[in-house]
Amino acid sequence: MDQTERIIQALDSAGYQATANRRLVAGMVATSGGHFTAADLLERGRRERVNIGRATVFRALELLAELHVIERLDLPSGSHAYVLCDPAEHHHHLVCSGCGRSEDVADGELARLVDEIGQRNGYRIETHRLELFGKCPDCAAGTPPNGAASKASSSAGQRPGGH
């Protein structure tokens, strides 16, 4: 449920200290509501008057990426962003080009297709990456969620309605 806790948990069980700053980053990541850049977090920190250094943010993101709690996306623009995601299984990302929201997408049939392509070309495939960009239901309907691109602030990730 609480994504922030989940992240802190991940840090802890990997043997890293869950320091105040890392908790802070965890919180921002969890409530980002979509993709975000290091600059976004820095900016948000500045706006909320929390004292956190540039290097610390970068180091925290690197750490979380290493733990597969977040993953780096290459946006069509060429810039790098991160998204919170499920560390458990191999998946891809469907990213809203309107509000930045993102969904994890299971690999599914893709594995077979990838395999096939490898065979056809005689390559031994090692990794593959699929990135999907489009408009989420809200943005497609012209009602983008508050704080569009990088801000956003629903406290529970992308699971409206919970359970």
Q: Is the dihedral of CA 151, 39, 104, 138 positive or negative?
A: positive
Figure out which of the listed residues 54, 80, 119, 153 binds a copy of itself, where binding follows CB under 8 A. Answer: 80
Selection from DNA, a copy of itself, none that 20 binds (CB < 5 to 8 A by kind) is: DNA
When asked if residue 38 is in the footprint of DNA (CB under 7 A), the reply is yes
Closest alpha carbon to 43 in 162, 157, 158, 147? 147
Figure out which of the listed residues 6, 59, 91, 128 binds DNA, where binding follows CB under 7 A. Answer: 59
Hunting for tokens 């990456």 — which residue is that? 129
Closest distance of CB 18 from a copy of itself, Å:
22
Q: For the CA atoms of 112, 115, 103, 74, what is the dihedral angle to 10 degrees?
A: -160
Selection from DNA, a copy of itself, none that 143 binds (CB < 5 to 8 A by kind) is: none
When asked if residue 147 is in the footprint of a copy of itself (CB under 8 A), the reply is no
Surface-to-core class of residue 73, CB atoms within 10 Å of its CB (0-12 exposed, 13-18 middle, 19+ buried): buried
Which residues sit at the interface with DNA, rule CB under 7 A?
A: 16-22, 37-39, 51-56, 58-60, 62, 79-80
